[in-house]
Chains A and B, each alone.
Chain A
Amino acid sequence: GAVVSQHPSRVICKSGTSVKIECRSLDFQATTMFWYRQFPKQSLMLMATSNEGSKATYEQGVEKDKFLINHASLTLSTLTVTSAHPEDSSFYICSARQAGARGHTQYFGPGTRLTVL
């Protein structure tokens, strides 16, 4: 149980284009989903917390107009990187917390490797 999927697993795009990444909880409902960014050989940095049906809460320094997050259902959250630039190239990972779960356990997706040319 507690499987989280991400799509696509990797994407290469040209500078200036927008890229959408999907995060799905496959066998549980997630009231809260999280988006992280991870640069090579570094730790995970929280970008934003997404609650179903409400606006995402962004961490300091993360541009909400550049990283659009939508959490339209209890099993799906999307991250759209708008007007991507090479410095946005990174490994993006989502996680989901099970609805009603005590203990704050987050289950992570497999990640999406974004390369902006």
Chain B
Amino acid sequence: QQQVKQSPQSLIVQKGGISIINCAYENTAFDYFPWYQQFPGKGPALLIAIRPDVSEKKEGRFTISFNKSAKQFSLHIMDSQPGDSATYFCAATANNDMRFGAGTRLTVKP
């Protein structure tokens, strides 16, 4: 049973556009929500993370929006670039337990 549901599975965006990836969770014990970026053949790299006590966090072109009541959170990549093409994973953590979404393969076309 997947504890974190991520969509879409794949996403194609034109250069300069906005990429939006959505995640939803059920377990209210989750209290930390990171996003990871993974390039082929590499380990995931922490991109940005948020706690449920804030509704939005922005770091450069990357923004997390968090809706605690709906148990949903999303990643927005502004001004998407071809170099952003990668697989993105959302995750949710409670204590030592981190659960990942299924991943979104983002392709940014030049």
Contacts and interface: CB of A to CB of B under 8 A. Distances in A.
B43 interface: yes
Contact of A108 (B32, B45, B103, B105): B45
A104 B89 contact: no
A105 interface: yes
Minimum-distance CB pairs A-B, first 9 = A108-B43, A104-B93, A111-B43, A110-B43, A104-B32, A108-B44, A43-B100, A43-B102, A44-B100
A68 to B, nearest CB: 20
Interface string A97-117: 100000111111111010000
Contacts of A43: 89, 100-103
Nearest to B92: A104
B34 interface: yes
A81 B103 CA distance: 26
Interface string B4-36: 000000000000000000000000000110101
A103 B49 CA distance: 9
A34 interface: yes
Contacts of B69: none
B42 A104 contact: no
A106 B42 contact: no
A110 B11 CA distance: 24
B100 A111 contact: no
Contact of B96 (A6, A49, A110): A49
Contacts of B95: 104
